[in-house]
Structure 1
């Protein structure tokens, strides 16, 4: 092979150099680089799983928040219904109370009117009696004696009293 220009010693030295280079490269450069690449892949996978976990947590929190908002809205609606019902009951109670008070005032006013009417009737009867007595005294005073006038007045008074009652 010397004719071809190949030197076996040089080739063996080159092979040894290449083997030594391959061993050193594999042991000191490629190994740590592969470990570094694997570690970066692992870190990237961890980051990806953490991101997925955060997305799931965020979705879960959003669902819980929506459910909580719905629950709060439902409770607020129930409270509003209760408050409206209580307000309606209070309104009805006030209306009933006002009606009862108005009826009391009306009945009291009717009683007062009745009392006033009775009072006026008594006064009117008294005046009628006084007028009747005065009329009898004036009209018949000259014709009747005092005893007959007294008897006539008593008779008229007793008749008016019994009719007045």
Structure 2
């Protein structure tokens, strides 16, 4: 009988390593997917004097979140395990706070996105710490995502810094 939960031939990856990696990177997939969806909501509804700059920056953040979700998901799948990026699963499992519905001024929109990035960084930093002993390549994935999130956070926060 074939094991439909694994796609890599048995023996090429230690199953315990793959399961450990999946434990940490799957949460990143979930949170990056949620950030991309929430970011698009914010992108459509942001209002204010610097609208064009913030509107375009949010699209960059969304693109990055999608890329990072894909990067983390592909690492898990490369190790032979599935990921669950379905919207209902993402909504149930994400740790990031929600985005307000409707129109919002730039300061509110940025504060919400920064809070979402901060919440997602908790799981990313946990992954960095835990994956160091488990799988260096997977730790590199988490480190890359951390660097990018911190940069996106900086760019967003700079629009409302006093």
Same fold (TM over 0.5): no
Higher Cα Rg: structure 1 or 2?
1
Q: TM-score, normalised by structure 1?
A: 0.23
| Highest RCO, 1 vs 2 (Cα 8 Å, sep ≥ 6) | 2
Higher normalized helix content (fraction of residues): 1
Q: TM-score, normalised by structure 2?
A: 0.24
